[in-house]
Amino acid sequence: MSRSTYSINNRHFEVWRGWYYHTPKPQPEIPYDIQLVTLRLVDALPASELQQMEVDARMVQPAKHVHFKRQRTQEILNAGHGSCALQHPEVARAVLDVLEDQHAKRYKLIAWCIMPNQLHVLIEPCFPLARIVQDWKAITTRWALQHNTRLGLKLKSKGLWMKRYQDRFIRDKKHLTEVIRDLHESPVVAGLCETPEEWHWSSAHTKRH
């Protein structure tokens, strides 16, 4: 797969298929920025774990509470609680199909990583982000519930995803490079593989099947 330098100003990016987005005609600026979106499965953060986190946070200096909770939350997610429905290949494929379907329509898909209990997507939207995420969740939830019994996903009536999602704006070129690196290394940090390229459900994976 060929590589390119990420850029924001001239709107050229290396995307997951290894080809470059380019248009010979100037595009009008859109009122949105590149954003990292994270969705978590509804049962990925058990109440008991969150309660213990709050107890432990009392032992941390107030100025460090945000960092402590962010780090502990990621540790809980990496522990693989809940149904981890996204680890099923058919579910992961269905989620990826939804992401791909709206590429070049509602957003530019720059990078992504499907983890067992969460999803990280880096996009440049040209459509309201809330609507994009709402559609992702609605379509994938409907699909998962339809195939719940056949795949043994053990999903309950609450559906697939948590109501809230996390989004972060990309500040500049350096930040973009760092976010893509961290996104691709997510399965390595979670102990799911040794290198980002080994994780099949990620834009770092160089061989699509």
145-187 residue pLDDT tens = 999 999 999 888 778 999 999 999 998 899 999 999 999 999 9
What is the overall mean pLDDT for the chain? 85
d(Cα 50, Cα 59) in Å, to the nearest integer? 15
Per-residue pLDDT, 175: 92
Spatial neighbors of 209 by CB under 8 A, at least 6 apart, are 200
Identify the three-state secondary structure at position 30.
coil
Q: State pTM to two decimals.
A: 0.80
* Phi (first) and psi of residue 84, to 5 degrees: 50, 45
d(Cα 107, Cα 118) in Å, to the nearest integer? 20
Least confident range of 9-23, 84-98, 168-182: 9-23
Per-residue pLDDT, 206: 58
DSSP 8-state symbol, 194:
S
DSSP string for residues in 83-136: --GGGSHHHHHHHHHHHHHTBTTTEEEEEEEE-SSEEEEEEEESS-HHHHHHHH
Mean pLDDT of 8-12: 46
Least confident range of 9-13, 52-56, 67-71, 189-193: 9-13
Sheet with 166-169: strands ordered across? 107-114, 118-125, 35-40, 166-169
Evaluate the CA torsion angle 173, 190, 19, 143 in order and state its sign. Answer: negative
Domains of the chain: 35-46+81-198 (3.30.70.1290)
Q: What is the pLDDT of residues 29-63, one digit of tens each?
A: 444 589 999 999 999 999 999 899 998 888 888 88
d(Cα 33, Cα 70) in Å, to the nearest integer? 24
Per-residue pLDDT for 133 more than 90?
yes
